[in-house]
Homo-oligomer: A and B are copies of this chain.
């Protein structure tokens, strides 16, 4: 009974079926029929004209986007606990040609317009200091918190006035949509975002993420950066097919809702005192003594030690609800 990561879950059956259906000869790279349907599929989902690129990892999606929005001599503002800062092995520096990550504070790995403005105000407008060029936020955040459309729009407005590009790392964007009940459009381009890394791997996909650009024309250079970074697969239809399978019939949303529901059930079992952060998506950060954690593990529950006295539970699209109930019960009886 594993609550380690949605990263490690199996793929949705529809994804495997889609791969089987795509298992025919077609044009190489992204000239195939499946890849050709991506723009339309996302344009419908986001209620605007979108250019969409498949890539294999969230790191690739994030860093191609950042390279589009920030020149080598610029800085990307992001939260101190952001994935791009802590878990991408310096990929932003690689993709941008040495741009800087300027780290912001904020509860629950969320940033506010004030923090963004203050960070920009601290930078002297001379050639000696690296000038901020973009903001990258994560929705849902690294601690499972979501940005509402209003919060996102306030950040978008700050970016607009400060001349910053605006990127959203949506490794768990589906969970954010499910949690907020907001439309994909309201959480992105209507709020001023330029690019979204829309994660499908944590959502039941195998090895395909989508990188979306909301400004027409941006994708052209991004396609070059994708190729140049080795992310243009020759049999691209297998990536596109996965994404289409998850978009169709709103599977992505159903999957996210299932994961969120499992997390909510666990959050109720934990009660407010144990929870380090509010549980809005599919991650829980739970205060727990080593003895308590050991007791749960002895009952067959696996999870990650996050910090002294704190564990992390992550639920997936396919989390077994019986196991969730057993864990909830076990937590209640600690």
Query: Contact residue range for chain A?
Result: 35 or more
The answer for the CA separation of A221 and B23 in the assembled complex, in Å, is 35
Quick check: B235 and A8 within 8 Å, CB to CB? yes
User: Which of B4, B25, B129 contacts A86, CB < 8 Å?
Assistant: B129
Among A8, A10, A57, A231, the one with the most B-chain Cβ atoms within 10 Å of its Cβ is A8
Do A231 and B228 touch (CB < 8 A)? no
- Which residues from chain A sit less than 8 Å from chain B, CB to CB? 2, 4-5, 7-11, 16, 19-20, 23-29, 32, 55-61, 63, 71-75, 86-91, 93-101, 127-131, 201-202, 206-207, 221, 223-235, 238-239, 316
A-B contact pairs, 30 of them (CB 8 A): A7-B234, A9-B25, A11-B23, A19-B206, A25-B316, A55-B230, A56-B230, A57-B230, A57-B231, A57-B232, A59-B227, A59-B232, A60-B229, A72-B93, A72-B97, A73-B94, A87-B129, A88-B230, A89-B224, A89-B232, A90-B100, A93-B98, A93-B100, A94-B97, A98-B98, A201-B235, A206-B235, A207-B207, A229-B230, A230-B231
| 5 closest A-B pairs by CB | A93-B98, A60-B230, A59-B230, A97-B97, A7-B234
- Starting from the known contacts A7-B235, A59-B227, A73-B90, 10 additional A-B residue pairs (CB-CB under 8 Å) come to A5-B234, A57-B232, A72-B72, A72-B228, A89-B127, A90-B98, A90-B228, A91-B230, A93-B98, A230-B231
